Structure 1
Amino acid sequence: MKTQAVAALKADYPLPVLLAVAGLARSTFFYHQARLDRPDPHAGLKAAIAEAFEAARGRYGHRRIHAVLARDGWRVAKKTVRTLMNALGLACQVRRPRRCRSWPGRPGTTAPNLLNRQFNADAPDTTWVTDVTEFRIRDRKLYLSPVIDLFDRSVVAYACGPSPTLELTNSSLRAAIATLPAGARPLVHSDSETVSAGVAPGFPARERDGRGRMLVPGAPRAS
């Protein structure tokens, strides 16, 4: 950058003054100026990289671009492809899934796994399962918390929200409990750490097994 600036201004200002201001030695300036005047040895490779990147609609990183180039007969190192992509300002637009690092909340009491992977029920309203699922809609996230009856796989109730909070899961549980007939006390099972993070007022104590599953041994009766 300094060499380019000095070269652009040397027609209007004395070269020794420009070199002193830029902190460049005379030999260094002429060396880099000669390099700038040379043709780009990677011009063809840059064009191939840009073409492959455009064909992939910006979804390929340097590793997959390198694979495309190798398939087309180019023999070049991955680091060279990465360096040239950075120089061209080409970056993959697809984000890798990020692991959730939020604090799961206050842990519950460890208890035996009552469900024990028996995902079938002999009667309705005896075994429910619930979890939180994340959906990405454009630049936002939406979280769905359904309650499903294992008897017929029907959705008893659900709740949606912008965050996987305890209130979201409790909302779906409240709506599901409101549908219970008198005397029904289903077992509620969840694999979600968010669901098992706390206890809301009016809900029974929740127990978790060694894998973090939340088990509610009997939901309160519907009023």
Structure 2
Amino acid sequence: MTRALLSRVPERARPALALPAGFRLDRGRVHEACGPGRHVFAALAAGAAQQAGGGDVLWIAPEWERDRPNPQGLCRFADPGRLLFATPRREEDILWCAEEALRAGCLPLVVVECVTLPALTPVRRLQLAAEAGMAAPGPAPLGLLLTPGAGGARGAETRWHMAPAHRPGAEGWLLERLRARRDPPARWQLGWGRGGLDAILHPRGT
């Protein structure tokens, strides 16, 4: 008796969080943002999660890291009054907190500031926790790892790099999709327009 190894049933589309300028992040998954503008990317995701009616956002950062998101700076992207901060004292507790929050499924977004690149096994545990959180009655959860340097967390659903690209009199960033399971690499120039944040797609190789 033969048995098909691959199903011909198309994969069901996941619910996604729509970010400004048309970007989307699948819910029930864990994504990665790196680069000097990674906190701006997280702020954009936080604002999108709040506007989608998903409730508060959890931001996890190590207790010894004194730099915190400035509420005044966040106002342009998200409501700082709806951000919950957790500051674990040990590095190993950072991902544990994220795992528990994703599994609970009571928050739409969990932002995790990583001191070092997480290993594959912890990231897989986070993915399983996010999947489990989809079954909870609350908003479908989404995890966002903020990694140092050029990133490279194995097992992340997507990897984004964001860096300032300001021009005289105009605030802007260069956003690159370095890796995604379903989409090719791409890069955009982001800037504030009259209608909000605008994105211009750069041809590959530029």
- For normalisation by structure 1, the TM-score amounts to 0.26
Highest Rg: 1 or 2?
Answer: 1
Higher strand share: 2
Higher relative contact order, structure no. (Cα contacts within 8 Å, ≥ 6 residues apart): 2
Higher helix share: 1
